[in-house]
Amino acid sequence: MVATLVLCIVIWLTPLWAYAQTPQTTLDRTAPLAKGLTAWFKAIPKFNGGKYMYDIMGGPPIQLTNMGNAGTTSGWAGPTQTFHTGEIRFDGVDDNMSTPANSAIMPPFYSMLLWMKMAANAPGDYALLWEAVNGNASLYITNNNQIAAYAGAISLDPATTVLSINTWYHIAVVSTTQVRAYVNCRLDGTAAGAGPLSASAFSHLFGMNSSTGSKFTGSMNDMRFYNRSLTGEEVCAAMQESKRGDPQLLPTLYSGKGGNVLGFVLATFTKGRFFPFFRAQ
């Protein structure tokens, strides 16, 4: 009887253990905020550390340059927001991140969202948050600590809000037949101009401009690219979802050595993975 019970337990735990050994990251691509999401770089368990920041959507990763694997001012670091699991820090000297050319990220109209925190005032030649190299699309912090956004022949320089040091902000730039900038999901400025960008394969830079070296000092995380123009309501929804831990993104923290298998088993029960009668109706 005891041997039979032990055998049953082993058989039941085997798929759980196998599942716990493999990082699980899935995305509900049918969810409204996943529509048109072409690249998503976020510091989450199993994606942290090393010289790359991986794209949750499966595209080419961002490469970290002149950054250590861990440090207080450069490279991967622990979170300074309760809802983040990590962040990337730029020292304002030579730190930068880049992607290879990727046509999927830069369509004619786009939305780019990120969380950022300045550790120092922007320099006189502005501080780069993001640039599509040779794509005439970019996002800066001006020397007055305001957002500046560029999309083709459209220039929004500057937006309205004066940003504070050591404060996290959710920033979004949306390209339509105008460019719109959002700070903490509030519309911060608009500028009208030419139509769509050319849909070319641009490489992307973060933290340091390709020509002038406009250097950013501070932290970034959760950079998202869409191949469509988000509405203001969608920008706010994305910010709030991020603060709640992105229920559309389902990573597990369990990886065998450091994994809490008991916790995983309990989570499995409550989520109804193996026992449907536990599943919420």
The answer to whether residue 122 is domain-embedded is: yes
Most confident of 44-48, 70-74, 114-118, 190-194: 114-118
Do 191 and 258 sit in the same domain of this protein? no
In the chain, where does DSSP find H-type helix?
2-21, 232-243, 261-271
- Is the CB of residue 139 less than 8 Å from the CB of residue 147? yes
- Amino acid letter, 94: D
Q: What is the pLDDT of residue 260?
A: 35
Do 269 and 219 sit in the same domain of this protein? no
Give the CATH number of the domain where residue 216 resides. Answer: 2.60.120.200
Q: What is the pLDDT of residues 191-222, one digit of tens each?
A: 997 667 777 788 999 999 877 779 999 999 99
| SS (HEC) of 39-70 | EEECCCCCCCCCCEECECCCCCCEEEECCCCC
Domain containing 218 equals 32-243
Do 135 and 226 sit in the same domain of this protein? yes
Reported as a pLDDT band with limits 50, 70 and 90, residue 273 is very low
The answer to whether residue 75 is domain-embedded is: yes
The count of domains in the chain is 2
Do 281 and 171 sit in the same domain of this protein? no
The answer to whether residue 17 is domain-embedded is: no
